[in-house]
Amino acid sequence: MIRIPLTDLGAAEYRGFTGGLYPSGQNLRPATYEKTGVAIGATVQPVNGDGKASTSGRIVMLSIGMSNASREFLQFTRLADTDARRNPNLVMIDAARNGAAATDIALPFGDYWKHVDSQLQRCDVSAAQVQVVWLKAALAHEPHGFPEKARLLQRALRSIVGILSTKFPQLKLVYVSSRIYGGYSETDLSSEPIAYESGFAVKWLIEERINNPNHDRSMPWVSWGPYLWADGLTPRSDGLIWERSDFEQDGVHPSAQGVLKVATILLEFFQNEITARRWFFSPTV
- The answer to whether 256 and 19 are in contact (CB under 8 A) is no
In a domain, 1, yes or no: no
Helix or strand (DSSP H, E) at 115: helix 111-122
Per-residue tens of pLDDT for the chain, all 285 residues: 789 999 999 999 999 999 999 999 999 999 999 999 999 999 999 999 999 999 999 999 999 999 999 999 999 999 999 999 999 999 999 999 999 999 999 999 999 999 999 999 999 999 999 999 999 999 987 777 999 999 999 999 999 999 999 999 999 999 999 999 999 998 777 789 999 999 999 999 999 999 987 666 678 999 999 999 999 999 999 999 999 999 999 999 999 999 999 999 999 999 999 999 999 998 876
pLDDT attached to residue 1 = 74
pLDDT attached to residue 189 = 73
In a domain, 16, yes or no: yes
In a domain, 285, yes or no: no
Residue among 7, 8, 69, 61 at smallest CA distance from 258 = 69
Domain with 18, as residue range(s), is 6-280
Please tell me what DSSP assigns to residue 220: P
In a domain, 172, yes or no: yes
pLDDT attached to residue 216 = 64
pLDDT attached to residue 60 = 98
CA angle centred on 272, ends 271 and 277, rounded to 5°:
75
Q: 130 - beta bridge partners?
A: 60
In a domain, 122, yes or no: yes
Q: Which CATH number do you get for residue 210?
A: 3.40.50.1110
Give me the number of domains the chain comprises: 1
In a domain, 20, yes or no: yes
Under 8 Å CB-to-CB from 107, ≥6 apart: which residues? none
Q: 135 - beta bridge partners?
A: 64, 176
- The answer to whether 247 and 184 are in contact (CB under 8 A) is yes
In a domain, 205, yes or no: yes
Global pTM value:
0.97
Rounded (10°) angle between helices 111-122 and 148-167: 40
In a domain, 273, yes or no: yes
